Amino acid sequence: MLEPDGGGRYRIQALDRALGLLGLVASRPDLGLQALAERSGTSVSQVLKILATLEAHGMVVKSADKTYRLGYGALRLGHQASRLQPVVDVAAIALDELREETGESIHLVVRDGLDAVIADVRESSRTVRVVSPVGERTRLNAGSAGKLFLAYGRPELMDWLVREPLPAYTELSETDPELLRIDMDRARRQGVCVAIGDFEDGAFSVAAPVFEGPGRMAAAIALAGPLSRFDSAIERRYRSAVKQAAGAVSERLQGTAPSD
């Protein structure tokens, strides 16, 4: 099984740029050519060529106001991907219930190589909230969900991750491999992980693992909110709620898995 080595050994630079631009269009469908070039750090001429190629494949569409949005090709791929991710469907009810119970934003997170990726979201209705869009990714050293994937993953996963310096998203991001291992051990013992300000300033997250079989982690359910609403009593409450939701999804997911 080929895993990314963190050094880009198997990566194609032009494809990296195209996929990065596609992700930017997905998250910001209000941007035009110049803004996309500035935000992606790519020249206008390169962005124009990439967008023309993506448009030819139906992945993006140029609107009348000269901004870009996802096309039907991307929509089709999204539907196909969701059909291959049964955890998204299985977790839907639990995400709804957890958002109603806590009032905070709820994220279903999966692992893609060395990244944690948002697969589904239930956004808080509160004025002050923390939410990440579907498709957003962070390295596994940041955020409560990423550390769970390290805690329950194969030992080689950590070895791959630390081949290069760990990224710092904030001043509180854990970039020391030894301290990260301590966080992993704690998460494994407690069955839940709490992250404070290490993926976004002024934010917290609480995550618990979803298992598709004994010891096989399929996803994580993470609750995220502003630190202004977080204290020790709330932490205890959210730990329990997230673990209960993840446990329910694990039971459902294993119940839907085909027998060997």
CA 161 to chain centre: 16
pLDDT computed for residue 9 by the predictor: 56
Q: What is this structure's pTM?
A: 0.71
Q: Are 74 and 151 in a shared domain? A: no
Question: Domains in the chain: how many in total?
Answer: 2
Q: Stretch 10-16: mean pLDDT, rounded?
A: 78
Q: Are 116 and 222 in a shared domain? A: yes
Q: Are 178 and 89 in a shared domain? A: yes
> Containing domain of residue 39, as a range?
13-78
Alpha helices in the chain (DSSP H): 13-27, 33-40, 44-56, 72-83, 86-102, 144-152, 155-161, 177-190, 232-256
Is 258 a residue whose pLDDT tops 50?
Answer: no
Q: Stretch 180-209: mean pLDDT, rounded?
A: 95
CATH code at 151?
3.30.450.40
pLDDT digit string, tens, across residues 68-120? 998 878 877 776 666 556 898 899 999 999 999 999 999 999 998 899 999 99
